[in-house]
Amino acid sequence: IGALVVRPDIACKIIPQICGSQNEHLRGGTENVAAIAGAAAALRDAHKNRMAKNEHLKSLVKSTLDKLSHISIIKLTPENSCAGVLLVSFVGMCGMAVKRELLKRGILVSVGSACNTKKSGPSHVLIEMGVPRVVRRGVIRISFWDTNTIKDVDALCAAFTN
C-alpha cells in the first residue's frame, strides 16, 4: 500500500503513471481495503506521541555515541537528521565486516543508505561530502525505532568490547 499526500492546489496537476478503468481512469483496480485500514492504523500509532518518541530516539543515539566514545569512530549524521538514525564510521575497519559480526550477535545494521541496498560501492553522498575513503569504508547506519530501549544500545555497544 502507498499513499501520496499533496496540497489541494497541486493535486489537480498530478498525472497518473498507471491508469486503469477505476475512478475515471485514475486507478488500475479495486482498493485493498485491508491494507488501507492497516496503513491508517500504523500511521496513527507512529504519529501518536511523536515528539516524545523522537526525544527517546535522540537519547538512544546519544547513549550509543557516549558508550562508543572509547572506540575510534567518526559520527557522520548531521544534527538535523532523522531522530533515530546514526551514521558512524569505524575508521580503519570495513563496514561489511562490522555488519557481519553484529549480525552474528543478532544485531542488524546497514552499510548503505536505504535507497541503495542493491548497489555496491561507496555512497555518492559521502563522496560529495568529501568524506575520505578510509572513513567511507568503515561506515554503518544504525537505525533505532520507538520500541528500542537502552538495553538494545547496551547490547550493541557490548559487541564492540566483547
Q: By three-state DSSP, how is residue 86 classified?
A: strand
> Cα 89 to chain center, whole Å?
16
Q: How confident is the model at residue 38 (pLDDT cuts 50, 70, 90)?
A: very high
Task: Report, as residue numbers or ranges, the catalytic residues.
Answer: 115
For the entire predicted model, the pTM comes to 0.76
Q: Rounded CA gap, 73 and 46, in Å? A: 31
- Phi/psi for 4 (5° steps) reads -125, 120
Q: Which three cell numbers stand for residue 12?
A: 489537480
With a CB cutoff of 8 Å and minimum separation 6, the contacts of 127 are 136
Q: Rounded CA gap, 109 and 86, in Å? A: 10
Give the pLDDT confidence score for residue 134 in this predicted structure. 87
Strand residues in 83-157 grouped as ranges (E): 85-90, 139-143
H or E element, residue 45: helix 33-47
pLDDT digits (tens, 9 = 90+) for 135-157: 888 999 999 999 999 999 999 99
Give the pLDDT confidence score for residue 118 in this predicted structure. 58
Type of residue numbered 22: Q
Mean pLDDT score of the chain: 86
Q: How confident is the model at residue 130 (pLDDT cuts 50, 70, 90)?
A: confident
Q: Which three cell numbers stand for residue 62?
A: 546519544
pLDDT digits (tens, 9 = 90+) for 51-105: 999 999 999 999 999 999 888 888 988 888 889 999 999 888 899 999 999 999 9
CB 98, CB 139: distance < 8 Å: no
**Interior angle at CA 153, CA 151 and CA 157, nearest 5:** 120
